[in-house]
Amino acid sequence: MAYLIYALRRALQAVPVILMIMVGAFLLLKLAPGDTVDALVGDMGGADAQFIARLRAEYGLDQPVWVQLWRYLAKMAQFDFGWSYVYEQPVATVLLDRLGTTLMLMCASLFFAFTIGILLGAIAARRAYSATDNVISTLGLIFYATPSFFLSLMMIVIFSVKLGWLPVGGIRTIAAFHTGWDHVLDVARHLVMPTAALSLIYLAFYLRLMRASVLEVAELDYVRTARAKGAGETRLMVHHIMRNALLPVVTLLGLQFSTLLGGSVVVETIFSLPGLGQLAYQSVIQRDMNTLMGIIFLSSVVVIVVNFLTDLLYARLDSRIELA
Amino acid sequence: MIDRMMFAAVAAGALMATGTPVAAQDDEPKRGGTAIIHMVSEQRILNPALRASTGVYEISGKIVEPLIDKSYDGYEPVLATDWSSSEDGLEITFKLREGVRWHDGEDFTCEDVSYSAMNLWKELLNYSTTLQQYLEAVDCPDPHTAVFRYSQPMPLELMLAAMPDLGHPVPAHIFEGTDPLQNEYNTAPIGTGPFKFAEYQRGQYVIAERNDDYWRGEEYPYLDRVVWRFITDRSAAAAALEAGEIHESGFIGVSMADVERLADDPRFDVGPEGYENNVAHSTIEFNHRNEALADLRVRQAIYHGLDIDYAIETIMRGYAKPGRGPVPSTGGANYTDDVPTYPYDPEKAKALLDEAGYTPDADGIRLRLRHRPAPWGEYTQLWAEYFAQAMAEIGIEVTLVQNDAPGFLSGVYRDHDFDTANGWHQFRADPAVSTMVWLRSGSPVGTPWTNQFGWQSPEMDQLIDAAASELDPATRAEMYHQIQRRAMEELPVIFAIEHPFISVTSKKLRNHHNTPRWNSSSWYDLWLDE
């Protein structure tokens, strides 16, 4: 019950936050020079003035900004995200088409980065200042310092062009018409390089944070007490050190879930993955207001939900923290 | 008087016969296979009667056919088999091909042409609305004859030159009674071409499947399928070519460094063949509202300060030539190279600036300019950077104002917020439907790629209008020569570099780039050797 009331209160608090984000984003986007008609006409290779005026009127872009904003908010209140004039589809359809790919990429990358990151971090901390630690820490530094676009292109050159093991881009082999498990396998093969490119930098974050955190926790009194009581190394590591060392890492995980969306723009563009990141980038270039606002809405909801889940997880990991 | 222009019907496959004379065993066309083509940007609309753009034709050209196409031997009859003009130029008659069916099984008739011309070509299609502004009606005396009636003379030569791009009929039975702009078939086209539309996944790919009922005969097309993949990252596209995942990248879809690198790779054909109809000019555009730039001597000085040959070698990797005004050298009879030129001569440039009163100040700077480069990719950006460097040498400080496409188009063509700008502009077979918009004054503010430069010349306007309705080809050509000379004398815009586009094509594709607008053509004779 307490959880439910807590959740409800958080949901209510989220409404003004989202409203502020939407209004702010709308006005900011309107400050950019040119509009979607400029972009469309640019794509077309030019058009005459009559045609341009007609498009503007049809899209409602001839109205003052506050009228446009009011119309948008009125529609949004009914969960209608409008029509994308660039994609000629409802924004909700465009977003849902792309959401799956991005979520798949984000979850795979975070999962990979988180598990391998804490594992390597814990190992490095347990063998602090040994050769193993040096190798792991150096690797972490390299991952941390390599820009994802460079990593992506280098992986393409090695694994696609030279070795021919993995596909260069896309989400599946077009015109191969795979079904069933073949299809799953095909999609997985296409996600290997993007996941690696996106996760390595986060892996480095978790690794370094976990290493520092484990080193710190291992010095604390209760660990010494546990050791004095005769707890084995494994039990000590899993129950006493890891659980407590995870707290700062989980904070970072929650924070990074939202930044991952930004990072996926580059990776999605290079690997031509049809995800939200690429859609956001294209929508900015195309000044596709409705789609862009839809993405912003979706992202703010994701961030709010993830923050909420992080708070819940805190309480679970450290029973001293109370939800209030 | 204009004679009937007759062309021997191009026997199916005659085009293939050109090229290597000996037909070895493996030069026998093979049936089947999927050609995969790279697209660097996505137009989303696939109706060529609604959007005149090479990005649309590259895909829709395989699905929707024009009345006439262009081959290296001249105009090639496609949906029209024969054409003629009345003596006064007010009527143009097309004989239409019989026995052609749309992909949904309906017959192709004059109804379709009439509907398309009156409702789309005249009303909605960019560039075409100007071309067809005097079109009064299209009569159908019988199902396979279309008579275009005009209130002002329409040169047959102009009409023919425009038709490959601006003459795509759409099926009347699909569009009639709907708002053409909102029709769902705009993204799922129905045409008469060798390939039928199959699937369009936004941001990913378009698939077209073989049309088994194609009018050229059941041996065509050779391919089973064409797939276009949208890859916005040019380096990734080059990697996909090398990995064999795509067969062709057109319109300079990879970086110039990769063009040069892949040109040395024996697996690829790299070159400007097949773009003779799509030649473009890299430009320097002036805002004549700027007092300094309104002075002809300053514009001449800027031209003298540009080492065009150097730019061609370093930026265009040699795939280009110096521009000679608004008509490129592929412009046929309308082109002349008898025009004034401005060879690279920094000393002369400085002397001209001195003469105009722009002497160096304490910092050695004569003039400060804000320059907007068009964001049309790598070589356009490099050309802007070269421009800034070259101007620094003659004492003009150029600040580059970076912007994306909507920012550039509104900044230059609507708000006129620039001193100089650069971009490229395509020549579309005839000056009347392309480069003349750069020189003709009076286009409404905000129309992109038009004369928004604040430059006006009544004589030039008069010449442009007269040439557009001049019926005699020789007189018309002479008028365009005059326009070119004037444009080179007065320099409203510098048409600095004439360049074709470049394709990188896998050698597995056969019969590729065998027409002057190949990427936009139907590919009925393209085959895959694998």
Mark whether B287 and B342 lie in a shared domain. yes
Contacts of B403 in chain A (CB under 8 A): 33
Report the length, in residues, of chain A: 324
Mark whether B289 and B271 lie in a shared domain. no
Mean pLDDT, range B392-408, rounded to an integer: 92
pLDDT higher for A263 or A123?
A123
Strands B91-96 and B80-85: antiparallel
Q: Is residue B367 in some structural domain?
A: yes
pLDDT, position B26: 60
Query: Is B443 in contact with A87 (Cβ distance < 8 A)?
Result: no
The 10s digit of each residue's pLDDT in B425-449 is 888 888 988 888 889 888 778 777 8
Query: Is B129 in contact with A50 (Cβ distance < 8 A)?
Result: yes
Structure tokens at B294: 């309104």
Mean pLDDT, range B501-505, rounded to an integer: 95
* A vs B: CB pairs below 8 A: 161
| pLDDT at position B110 over 60 | yes
Mark whether B238 and B102 lie in a shared domain. no
Contacts of B204 in chain A (CB under 8 A): 170-171, 174, 272, 274
Residue B258 parent element (H or E)? helix B256-263
Contacts of A153 in chain B (CB under 8 A): 235-236, 239
Contacts of B232 in chain A (CB under 8 A): 269, 272, 278, 282
Give the closest residue to B166 by CA, choosing from B263, B260, B265, B53. Answer: B53
Query: Is A274 in contact with B202 (Cβ distance < 8 A)?
Result: yes
Mark whether B158 and B295 lie in a shared domain. no
Strands B135-142 and B424-426: unpaired
Average pLDDT along chain A: 85
The 10s digit of each residue's pLDDT in A100-132 is 888 888 889 989 999 999 899 988 988 888 898
The domain in which residue B267 lies consists of 4-20+31-40+194-276+502-528
Task: Pick from A9-18, A48-57, B380-389 the range whose average pLDDT is largest.
Answer: B380-389
Q: Is residue B396 in some structural domain?
A: yes
Give the closest residue to B386 by CA, choosing from B371, B375, B376. Answer: B371
Q: Is residue B361 in some structural domain?
A: yes
> DSSP alpha helices (H): ranges in chain A?
2-31, 36-44, 49-58, 65-77, 91-126, 131-145, 148-155, 180-218, 221-228, 233-235, 243-270, 276-286, 289-317
Q: Is residue B52 in some structural domain?
A: no
Torsion over CA of B255, B260, B262 and B264, rounded to 10 degrees? 180
Structure tokens at B253: 């879809």
| pLDDT at position A35 over 60 | yes
With a pLDDT cut of 90, the percent of chain A lying above it is: 10
Where does the pLDDT of residue B4 fall: very low under 50, low under 70, confident under 90, or very high at 90 and above?
A: very low
Among residues B175, B205, B232, the one where a domain terminates is B175
Contacts of B127 in chain A (CB under 8 A): 45-46
Considering the entire predicted model, what is its pTM? 0.85
Mean pLDDT, range B488-511, rounded to an integer: 95
Contacts of B203 in chain A (CB under 8 A): 98, 274, 278-279, 282
Q: Is residue B53 in some structural domain?
A: no
Mark whether B361 and B494 lie in a shared domain. yes
Least trusted range by pLDDT, from A166-180, B186-200, B421-435, B449-463: A166-180
Give the closest residue to A25 by CA, choosing from A294, A310, A305, A320. Answer: A294
With a pLDDT cut of 70, the percent of chain B lying above it is: 95
| pLDDT at position B7 over 50 | no
Among residues B128, B146, B175, the one where a domain terminates is B175
pLDDT, position A52: 81
Mean pLDDT, range A167-190, rounded to an integer: 85
Contacts of A88 in chain B (CB under 8 A): 44-45, 186-187
Q: Is residue B325 in some structural domain?
A: yes
Q: Work out the number of other CB atoms within 10 angstroms of the CB of residue A229.
A: 8
The 10s digit of each residue's pLDDT in B17-31 is 344 444 444 678 999
pLDDT, position B128: 85
At A135 the three-state DSSP class reads helix
Query: Is B129 in contact with A52 (Cβ distance < 8 A)?
Result: no
Mark whether B289 and B166 lie in a shared domain. no
Residue partners of B368: CB distance under 8 A and separation at least 6: B396, B397, B399
The 10s digit of each residue's pLDDT in A61-115 is 888 888 888 888 888 888 888 888 778 788 898 888 888 888 888 889 989 999 9
Mean pLDDT, range B241-269, rounded to an integer: 93
pLDDT, position A60: 81
Mark whether B290 and B422 lie in a shared domain. yes
pLDDT, position A259: 74
Query: Is A160 in contact with B243 (Cβ distance < 8 A)?
Result: yes
CB nearest to A88's CB, from B187, B403, B450: B187
pLDDT, position B254: 93
Query: Is A33 in contact with B410 (Cβ distance < 8 A)?
Result: yes
| pLDDT at position B42 over 50 | yes
Buried b (16+ CB within 10 A) or exposed e, A141-180: eebeebebeebbbebbbebbbeeeebbbbbbbbbbeeeee
Q: Sign of dihedral through CA atoms B199, B203, B204, B205?
A: positive
Mark whether B154 and B287 lie in a shared domain. no
Where does the pLDDT of residue A311 fall: very low under 50, low under 70, confident under 90, or very high at 90 and above?
A: confident
Mark whether B147 and B238 lie in a shared domain. no
Mean pLDDT, range A26-34, rounded to an integer: 85
The 10s digit of each residue's pLDDT in B77-96 is 999 999 999 999 999 999 99
The 10s digit of each residue's pLDDT in B166-191 is 999 999 999 998 888 878 899 899 99
The 10s digit of each residue's pLDDT in A223-260 is 888 888 888 888 888 888 888 888 888 888 887 777 77
Give the closest residue to A86 by CA, choosing from A25, A39, A46. Answer: A39
Q: By the CB < 8 Å criterion, does A166 face chain B?
A: no
Mean pLDDT, range B348-376, rounded to an integer: 94
The 10s digit of each residue's pLDDT in B131-150 is 898 999 999 999 999 999 99
Distance, in Å, from the CA atom of B12 to the CA atom of B16, rounded to the nearest integer, reads 9
Contacts of A42 in chain B (CB under 8 A): 405-406, 408-409, 448
* Residue that has been written with the tokens 């990248």 in this structure: B249
Mark whether B413 and B285 lie in a shared domain. yes
Mark whether B12 and B72 lie in a shared domain. no
| pLDDT at position B2 over 60 | no
Mark whether B495 and B506 lie in a shared domain. no
CATH of the domain at B524: 3.40.190.10
- Tell which A residues from 80 to 99 touch B, by Cβ distance under 8 Å: 86-89, 94, 97-98
Q: Is residue B506 in some structural domain?
A: yes
CATH of the domain at B99: 3.90.76.10
pLDDT, position B384: 96
Q: Is residue B114 in some structural domain?
A: yes
- Tell which B residues from 410 to 469 touch A, by Cβ distance under 8 Å: 410-411, 414-415, 426, 437, 443-450
Distance, in Å, from the CA atom of B29 to the CA atom of B32, rounded to the nearest integer, reads 10
Mean pLDDT, range B319-340, rounded to an integer: 93
pLDDT, position B312: 95
Among residues B124, B144, B175, the one where a domain terminates is B175
Q: By the CB < 8 Å criterion, does A211 face chain B?
A: no
pLDDT, position A45: 66
CB B132 within 8 Å of CB B75: no
pLDDT, position A237: 82
pLDDT, position B11: 35
Query: Is B53 in contact with A282 (Cβ distance < 8 A)?
Result: no
Give one DSSP letter per residue of A274-311, joined into a string.
-SHHHHHHHHHHHT-HHHHHHHHHHHHHHHHHHHHHHH
Query: Is A171 in contact with B207 (Cβ distance < 8 A)?
Result: no
Give the closest residue to A208 by CA, choosing from A132, A279, A121. Answer: A121
**What's the number of domains chain B is made of?**
3
